[in-house]
Amino acid sequence: MSRFNLQDIGICACPGGTQFAEEIILHLKSITTKKTRFHLHSLKKKYSATSSDLLKKLSFQNDLSSIQTNGAFAANVSSLHPDFRVNARFTRFANGEFKTAVESSVRGKDIYVIQDVSNQYPISFHGSAAPQVLNVNDHIFCLFTTVDAILQAGAERVTVVLPTYPYSRQHKKRGREGLTAARIGQTLEYMGVARIITLDIHSREIENCFNRLRLENLHASYQILRSLATIVSLKNENLVIVSPDTGSVDRNKFYATALNRPLAMLYKERDYSKITRSALEHNIAGVNLLGSVKDKIVFMSDDILGSGGTMMVALRSLKERGAEKTVCAVSLPFFTGGAIEHFDRAFREGLFYRIIGTNAVYHDANLHGREWYISANVSRLFAKTIFRLCFNQSLSPLLDNRDIITKLLGKQ
């Protein structure tokens, strides 16, 4: 754990990512406290030293020798850690431009800039009386100004944390279309960003678009299965995994393999001349099922729920084919275009039992109060990733989570 001290880690939240950043900071403090206690306990046994002596004299993370301690060991460990927050002032001018002013020293530090580009809720800005709702493009430019301000202030390394990678569905061309997913990351790379941390990116091809920038793609499978286990037995013989389309086969094959359950697939024929704008409008011309779901409990996973139109078609198709109960999981629950109200009606019709979504996209009590919605918290996963990156530790245990899923099954 030699490259950075804890005091060199900074978390800067853009206006859209404030809630997610606060959760990450809480988990980061918990992780660092636990690691410090464990390390000091090992040193205490090895050298037969008292806790007070260790905290006064030993060098831990290059600067613990300067820490003055008093009182009990447990109380002092938490005091060793910084607040992690990098304060900044965000201004939005009348013409729509953004300005970020960093109010904390970041020179020589490892800074993590957190932004939820899918946040659709009112946000307050410096000098603005009324909260404002930003679209994806607004959030992106606010991120750009923040990254620029952090780098101009002398940060040694900047990592951008994007729970939702913007424009990720624009990753391949049909005719004269742009590859905007690549351009977003390339712009951040050009600005000087060293790494992007995201969740369940829509296409792994995007990783191939960068020269030096690293993209860490986290997976929410363990957090989703923990939530699923609260409503359905993971060892239920009637449980079947269904892929909602061909693009989600690998994702659902992972769940089928991990749970040792059969895999079925919905094949959708689409009319790409139509654009999905709400859960009542979709471009699906027909649906076929490969496999059987009659009298089965169905678990179906996808990466993105936008307006919900295609998922609604899948849910109705599974119900018509005799599915007893359907549980859906989505890593990025956008719920755009009045989707929440449409799913309210679908729930009353009995088209599905529950939807599990992560907190990678911020939602208020309007969604969390729904009987049919379960939130899987992934902020600790991001905090663990940040901690490991800061101290140059392997991310393999986090990126390949089959072992902890096996332990989860063993507990059941």
| CATH number for the domain that contains residue 190 | 3.40.50.2020
- Inside any domain, residue 181: yes
Integer distance in angstroms from the first to the last C-alpha of the chain? 35
pLDDT of residue 247: 83
Q: What is the mean pLDDT of the chain?
A: 87
Q: Is 191 in the same domain as 311? A: no
- Inside any domain, residue 81: yes
The span from the CA of 193 to the CA of 196, in Å, is 8
The span from the CA of 267 to the CA of 256, in Å, is 18
- Inside any domain, residue 400: no
Per-residue pLDDT of 159-193, as tens digits, reads 999 999 999 988 888 788 889 989 999 999 999 99
pLDDT of residue 285: 64
Q: Which domain holds residue 316?
A: 221-377
The amino acid occupying position 5 is N
pTM of the model: 0.87
The span from the CA of 35 to the CA of 38, in Å, is 5
- Inside any domain, residue 248: yes
Look at 32-46, 108-122, 135-149, 208-222 and tell me which has the smallest mean pLDDT: 32-46
Per-residue pLDDT of 111-122, as tens digits, reads 999 999 999 999
- Inside any domain, residue 412: no
Q: Is 364 in the same domain as 382? A: no
Q: What DSSP state is assigned to residue 226?
A: H
Residue of higher predicted confidence among 410 and 88: 88
Whole-angstrom CA distances from 258 to 30, 89, 164, 225, 289 are: 29, 45, 25, 10, 22
Half-sphere exposure of 229 (CA within 13 A, CB side): 18
Name the pLDDT band for 151 (thresholds 50, 70, 90). very high
Q: Is 158 in the same domain as 271? A: no
What percent of the chain clears pLDDT 90, i.e. is strictly above it? Answer: 64
pLDDT of residue 65: 38
pLDDT of residue 280: 57
Q: Is 174 in the same domain as 317? A: no
- Inside any domain, residue 178: yes
Q: Is 283 in the same domain as 332? A: yes
Span 60-81, mean pLDDT? 45
Span 146-171, mean pLDDT? 95
Residue by residue, DSSP assigns 277-311 as: -BTTB--EEEEEEES--TT-EEEEEEEEESS-HHH
Shortest CA distance to 316 belongs to which of 341, 293, 290?
293
pLDDT of residue 175: 80
Collapse the DSSP code of 44 into the 3-class scheme (helix H, G, I; strand E, B; otherwise coil) and give the result. helix
Q: Is 282 in the same domain as 298? A: yes
Q: Is 185 in the same domain as 249? A: no
Q: Is 148 in the same domain as 203? A: yes
Name the pLDDT band for 53 (thresholds 50, 70, 90). low
Q: Is 389 in the same domain as 327? A: no
Q: Is 200 in the same domain as 249? A: no
Residue of higher predicted confidence among 148 and 69: 148
- What is the domain count for the chain? 2
Q: Is 7 in the same domain as 21? A: yes
With a CB cutoff of 8 Å and minimum separation 6, the contacts of 64 are: 55, 58, 80
What percent of the chain clears pLDDT 70, i.e. is strictly above it? Answer: 87
- Inside any domain, residue 241: yes
- Inside any domain, residue 410: no
- Angle at which helix 402-411 crosses helix 221-229, to 10 degrees, equals 10
Q: Is 147 in the same domain as 245? A: no
pLDDT of residue 200: 93
Question: Under a CB-based contact definition with an 8 Å cutoff, are residues 208 and 387 in contact?
Answer: no
Span 340-345, mean pLDDT? 95
Look at 96-110, 169-183, 298-312 and tell me which has the smallest mean pLDDT: 169-183
